[in-house]
Amino acid sequence: MSAANLYEVIRAPRVSEKTARLQEVSNQYVFEVAQTATKSDVKAAVEKVFGVKVEAVNVVNVKGKAKAFRQRMGRRGNSRKAYVTLAEGQSIDVMTVSA
């Protein structure tokens, strides 16, 4: 997998209160990934980009919300998130990650 493909698979880290809690409690990190990315693609990309050992990957499809904008109904785009569990003692500093 080339470096360009790695950054197409992993689009950006998701940073929120929920993801910060997951990092503290269960050493899980959340990334926004490509719609076509598989678990093995995400695992390989995270291991190569960050140099860590990945134990498990869970992938979730997020449906876009229907929203009104100036009396017209629109729809936000669908997205895909990956919950990546790292091996014991491994960590990623998501605040310094530039995607």
Domains and CATH numbers, the chain: 3-86 (3.30.70.330)
Q: What is the pTM of this model?
A: 0.86
Per-residue pLDDT of 34-72, as tens digits, reads: 999 999 999 999 999 999 999 999 999 999 999 998 889
Answer whether 30's CB lies under 8 Å from 14's CB. Answer: yes
Q: What local confidence, expressed as pLDDT, does residue 55 receive? A: 96
Alpha helices in 1-99 (DSSP H): 3-9, 17-26, 39-50
| Other Cβ atoms within 10 Å of 92 Cβ, number | 19
Length of the chain equals: 99
